[in-house]
Amino acid sequence: MTDIDVAVVGGGIGGLANALALASSGHRVRVLERASAFAEVGAGLQLAPNATRILREWGLLDEVIEHGVRPGRLVFKDALDGVELTSLELGESFERRYGAPYVVIHRSDLLSIMFRACERAGVELLADHKVDDVTVTEHEAVVLANGEKHRAAIALAADGLWSPLRARVSDDSPVCSGYVAYRGALPVSEVTDVDADALTDVVVHFGPGCHLVQYPLRQGEMLNTVAVFASPAYARGEEEWGGPDELDAAFDGTCPAVRRGLTWLWRDRRWPMFDRLPIGNWVNGRLALTGDAAHPMLQYLAQGACQALEDAHCLAAEAGKRTGDWAGALDAYQRTRTARTARVQSSARVWGEIWHCDGLTRTLRNALLTDRRLDDYQYVDWLYQS
């Protein structure tokens, strides 16, 4: 006899999303988080309509909007000369087309909202629980954490990019892109001479081997900045790479607005950018991967959290169709999700190449973007529509 229906390994956004979706459907759920508290490291994240539709269904969208910002546009500029190339209006017509808004929010705010929702739904939330092993049988998954056994009908590995449990379904490893990110989120009162659109829109400056993203957070009280660049030291095979000196050098030829943005970054921490190749199997018996453990992706489509929410929504729906048939639910979940997330992973890599091109390719990219009609949604319909 199992203690619970679902044991979730990992208490990040993906883990809590699965816990909330399944508990709201009447399942007994326990989340095991290795850290001493449920917390997110980082700054802002973007929630496209494919995510905010789900948050609305879960009754969380109003609170997310209250703590976040609904940007007016998604703006693309050339980082070298600062010229605006194209934009995507995110207002009323956008929301009518996709049935939900585009929202930007601080990671910690989203996690807190989801944590409270999990508490209300009756999820058992256990911090400081390091999972040492998961044993899978035909009828259950036994999760060993802190010397205690947690017997569940299924276990979900929501333990991120470096998931040890992914080895149960694949022998692959994370792939380093050679790019590194620096982030910063500061009160608007502490930044000066910032372009006005960075306080209302999501603004992307892309340049040769680098890009800078800026957008407001917390109802416009904070400015989120992310700088990403290719590390020459990594390309040379050096052990130490991606330091602040390389950050400054990568953006040396960019326009003044971009260089000013570098002053608002935290320089004591960097985030090397990894993903993995798509795989077609996420399930081993009663154990399944979810979120970044299943499909880690580069950030160029801003879909990491969005796809994790889609995973959770899908699994809860499939479980709801098959009362007690967890094997069938996991199989349907895998068949539904692997092709879509593989496309997002692969497309993110391609967009990174487009963002960071130089020379004649940059000239062609800029010309194509400049010629784009502002009401042309062909490149995002597949991503944002239900």
Q: Which two tokens stand for residue 363?
A: 């000239």
Strands 222-230 and 44-47: unpaired
Distances, alpha carbon 147 to alpha carbons 41, 132, 155, 222, in Å:
27, 8, 17, 43
Query: What letters, b where the CB count within 10 A reaches 16 and e where it falls short, cover 319-334?
Result: beeeeeebbebbebbb
Q: Of 98, 179, 182, 215, which one is the catalytic site residue? A: 215
Residue of 174, 132, 167, 111 whose CA lies nearest to 34? 132
Catalytic status, residue 384? no
The total number of residues shown for the chain amounts to 386
CA dist 262 and 183 (Å) reads: 9
Q: Evaluate the CA torsion angle 327, 333, 336, 340 in order and state its sign.
A: negative
Distance CA 43, CA 324 (A): 39
What SS3 class is residue 345?
helix
* Residues labelled as active-site residues: 215
